[in-house]
Amino acid sequence: MLLRVIESGPGGAAFNMALDEAIAQRVRAGESPFTLRLYSWEGASLSIGSFQKLNGINLEAVKSKKVPVVKRPTGGRAILHGEELTYSFSSRYEGSFRGGLFACCEVISRAIYEALKETGVPVQVKSGRGKDRVRSAVCFQSVSFAEITAHGKKLVGSAQKRWTDGFLQQGSIPYRIDRGLSSAIFPDFDPGLMTGLEEASGGDFYPERFVQAMREEFAECLGAALRVEGPCPAELALARELLPKYLFPL
């Protein structure tokens, strides 16, 4: 098995989503290998789940602060992206990913968990599949199955889109939280329910080391050979075609 890792740096909100979908399409068709993409955002951006309504989001604050909004191809709840490492993982239902939703989430969660442990962050993984009773529009206000916490606070938020031939999982791992902007955009935001990597590690955190650990631990958990490269021309061209789909005017 081959694992391709793409480290694409900061991108615009709509392009980030379009490229994730383009990669997933190529992977599902067998035209690209299983792919872990690691990236960030050009500035504060708001992503909402594919079926999520805008209830619980202060749209006036979003507009006044000029925060771009994008609807993810995956489900889940709203995430205010900022200083973070965002990941996407595209796969066919092969190898470690022959199982259902929960089984696939567990494999990815284990790789992220090991990468965080490798960089000295004290983390735990939610193992129960209990019903989420939190009504908030915000992803980081509740912890779902296989999601990762530190010091009892949510650290990693993830969501998945499944097709008949494969899936795409996207996730956000904050370096630090902009609690002021989060409170302005989400009226029910509780800063005590989430944390970032700097806070969770006590300030002794190095992003470059974490990115390296993510590459290595994903390859280790999947038993895969590792190849680091950029998106192929066909994926970039497809992303440009998909881009209008993700423009989200308010």
Q: Which amino acid appears at position 93 of this protein?
A: Y
As annotated, the active-site residues are: 139
pLDDT at res. 130: 52
pLDDT at res. 129: 57
pLDDT at res. 138: 83
| Torsion of Cα atoms, 53 then 23 then 62 then 171, to 10° | 80
- The strands making up 148-150's β-sheet, listed across from edge to edge, are 124-125, 148-150, 153-154
Which residues make Cβ contacts (< 8 Å) with residue 102, sequence separation at least 6?
A: 129, 145, 146
CA 11 – CA 161 distance, rounded (Å):
21
CA atoms within 13 A on the CB side of 164: 0
CA 120 – CA 141 distance, rounded (Å):
24
Task: Tell me the mean pLDDT per 10 residues along the chain, length 250.
Answer: 95 98 98 98 97 94 97 96 98 94 94 95 79 69 86 94 97 96 95 94 91 97 96 98 91
Number of structural domains in the chain: 1
104 near 145, Cβ under 8 Å? no
- The first and second tokens of residue 165, run together, are 């031939």
- Altogether, the residues listed in the chain come to a count of 250
pLDDT at res. 114: 96
CATH code: domain of residue 196: 3.30.930.10
10 Å CB burial of residue 70 (0-12, 13-18, 19+) is buried
Name the phi and psi angles at 121, rounded to 5.
Answer: -95, 125
Is the alpha carbon torsion for 56, 106, 26, 239 positive or negative?
positive
pLDDT at res. 141: 84
Nearest alpha-carbon partner for 111 in 27, 209, 15, 218:
218
pLDDT at res. 134: 59
Name the phi and psi angles at 61, rounded to 5.
Answer: -65, -40
Is the pTM of the predicted complex or chain greater than 0.75?
A: yes
CA 244 – CA 109 distance, rounded (Å):
31
Domain range spanning residue 88?
A: 2-246
